Amino acid sequence: MKNVTLINGDGIGPEISNAVVKIIDASGLKINWDVQTAGEDVIEKEGVPLPERVLNSIKKNKIALKAPVTTPIGKGFRSVNVQLRKELDLYANLRPCKNLPNVKTKFDNVDIVVVRENTEDLYAGIERQVDVDTAESIKVITRKASERICKFAFDYAVNNNRNEVCVVTKANIMKLSDGLFLESFRKIAENYPQIKKREILVDNLCMQLVQKPEQFDVLVLPNLYGDIVSDLCAGLIGGLGVAQGANIGLDYAVFEPVHGSAPDIKGLNKANPAALLLSAVEMIKYMNEFVYAEKIEKALFKTLASGICTADLGGRASTTEFTDAIISNL
Ligand code: NAI
C-alpha cells in the first residue's frame, strides 16, 4: 500500500478532499492517507500555519494531495502554498487545460499546458515599506531557476508528444529580469531541435488566448504571469472547478487544484470536486498506477457526459450527488 500525505485544507477543502478520497477508495486503489492539517486553524495550537510535521510527512512519503488553504490578504501569515513550494523546492507548477466532455465553453479545441515557474519572481516575498505612502516588491529572476523550468517544459513536451513550447514574458519592458528568463529559454531550446519554439509578450498572449486558444500548446512562464494565465486558461475549459494542477520538484510532488478555498460556498455542499479529482488522477499516474487513473478519469467523464454536474458548470448536483454518481460509474 502506498503512503500519501493528504492536506485537507480549509474553506471547501475538507468537502472536496472527502469526496476525492471516497472516489479513490471506491476505485479499489489502496492508499494509506497520512492526513495533515495546515493553515489558519493550526496557528492557535502550533504557532505556525505550516508546521514542520507537514513538511516531514511529505519528505517521508514523497507525494502529497493538497486541497486549498486560505491566505488572508494584506496581513497575517505568509501563504502556506507558497511556503510549501519553496521549502520542498517544487519548482515546476504544471497546469494542463483541456476541454472536458459536455462542459460547455466558448471554445471546444483547447488543449494547453501551462508550465509556471514556482519559486521566485514577485512571489519571493521580498517587500518593504519605503515610507508610509510607498511600498516595494522585488522581482527576482535567476538563471538557474529559469533554465530548469524551461528544461522541464521542453522535457514535458517531448515526453507527452507535444509540438511547441512558447515562452511568455514582458521582456520588452523588464529587460533584465524577464530578459534573463527569455535568454534562458533560448539557450535550453537549442537542445530540443524536434520541438517548435515561440516567443510572446504576456499582454498579447492574453488577447490571443481569448480569441484563438487552439494555437497554443505548452506555455512556459515566470511565476506571476503563470498564476494569472493559468486562471485565464481554466476559464477557457469551464472554470476553476475543473482546473487541475501539480507542483513538481526533483524529490517531491504535491498535487493540487488551481482554485482556492472558495469561502463564498464553504459548507454548502456545492463545490465541484473535479479539479481536485483530476489533480489526483495525475498523482495516480505519477505513482505509475495507470489502470486506476484511467478508471477514475473515465468515471468522471462518463458522469459529465451524462449531464450530471455541479452548479459552477450549470448543473444541479450537490458535491455529494456528483461524487456518488462518479462512484456508480466506476
Ligand atoms: P477561489 O479559487 O477560492 O474562488 C474563486 C471563485 O471560484 C469563487 O467564486 C469560488 O466559489 C469559485 N470556485 C473555486 N473553486 C471552486 C470549486 N471547486 N467549485 C465551485 N466553485 C469554485 O479564489 P479566491 O476567492 O481568490 O481565494 C480564496 C482563498 O483561497 C484565498 O485565501 C486565497 O489566498 C486562497 N487560495 C489558495 C490556493 C491554494 O491553496 N493553492 C490557490 C488560490 C487561492
For 84-100, what is each residue's pLDDT tens digit?
A: 998 999 999 999 999 99
Examine residue 100 and state whether it is found in any structural domain, yes or no: no
Pairing of strands 134-137, 127-131: antiparallel
Q: How many angstroms does the Cα of residue 194 sit away from the middle of ligand 1? A: 38
Cα atoms in the 13 Å half-sphere on the side-chain side of 90: 24
The string of pLDDT tens digits covering residues 57-70 is 999 999 999 999 98
Of the three residues 179, 210, 236, the one that is the final residue of a domain is 236
Q: Are residues 81 and 126 in the same domain?
A: no
Residues in the chain: 330
Which CATH number covers residue 8? 3.40.718.10
Mean pLDDT of 153-161: 96
Amino acid (one-letter) located at 82: V
User: Is 73's pLDDT higher than 80?
Assistant: no
Examine residue 101 and state whether it is found in any structural domain, yes or no: no
With cut-offs at 50, 70 and 90, classify the pLDDT of residue 186: very high
User: Is 259's pLDDT higher than 80?
Assistant: yes
Question: Does any ligand 1 atom lie closer than 6 A to the CB of residue 272?
Answer: yes
With cut-offs at 50, 70 and 90, classify the pLDDT of residue 125: confident
Q: Are residues 202 and 256 in the same domain?
A: no
Mean pLDDT of 271-293: 97
Q: Residue 34 and residue 23: Cα distance in Å, rounded?
A: 17
Q: Give the pLDDT of residue 55.
A: 96
Mean pLDDT of 43-60: 92
Q: Which atom of ligand 1 is nearest to the CA of 311?
A: 20
Q: Give the pLDDT of residue 124.
A: 82
Question: Does any ligand 1 atom lie closer than 6 A to the CB of residue 261?
Answer: yes
Contacts 24+ apart (CB under 8 A), 23-28: 23/273, 23/277, 23/296, 23/299, 23/323, 23/326, 23/327, 23/330, 24/280, 24/284, 24/292, 24/296, 26/327, 26/330, 27/292, 27/295, 27/296, 27/299, 27/330, 28/292, 28/295
Question: Does any ligand 1 atom lie closer than 6 A to the CB of residue 256?
Answer: yes
Question: Does any ligand 1 atom lie closer than 6 A to the CB of residue 245?
Answer: no
Of the three residues 201, 216, 236, the one that is the final residue of a domain is 236
Q: Give the pLDDT of residue 249.
A: 97
Question: Coil, strand, or helix at residue 138?
Answer: coil
User: Is 77's pLDDT higher than 90?
Assistant: no
Crossing angle of helices 80-87/52-61, nearest 10°? 50
Question: Does any ligand 1 atom lie closer than 6 A to the CB of residue 119?
Answer: no
Mean pLDDT of 138-165: 97
Q: Which atom of ligand 1 is nearest to the CA of 9?
A: 40
Amino acid (one-letter) located at 243: A
Of the three residues 236, 259, 277, the one that is the final residue of a domain is 236
Mean pLDDT of 258-271: 96
Q: What are phi and psi of 166, to 5 degrees?
A: -115, 125
Q: Are residues 89 and 110 in the same domain?
A: no
User: Is 301's pLDDT higher than 70?
Assistant: yes
User: Is 74's pLDDT higher than 80?
Assistant: no
Q: Are residues 317 and 229 in the same domain?
A: no
Q: Are residues 143 and 217 in the same domain?
A: yes
Angle, CA of 175, 228 and 165, to the nearest 5°: 65
Q: What average pLDDT does the structure give for the chain?
A: 95
- Residue listed under C-alpha cell 493550526: 42
- Domain with 223, as residue range(s), is 106-236
User: Is 42's pLDDT higher than 90?
Assistant: no
Q: Residue 284 and residue 287: Cα distance in Å, rounded?
A: 5
Examine residue 82 and state whether it is found in any structural domain, yes or no: yes
Q: Are residues 232 and 288 in the same domain?
A: no
pTM for the whole structure: 0.91
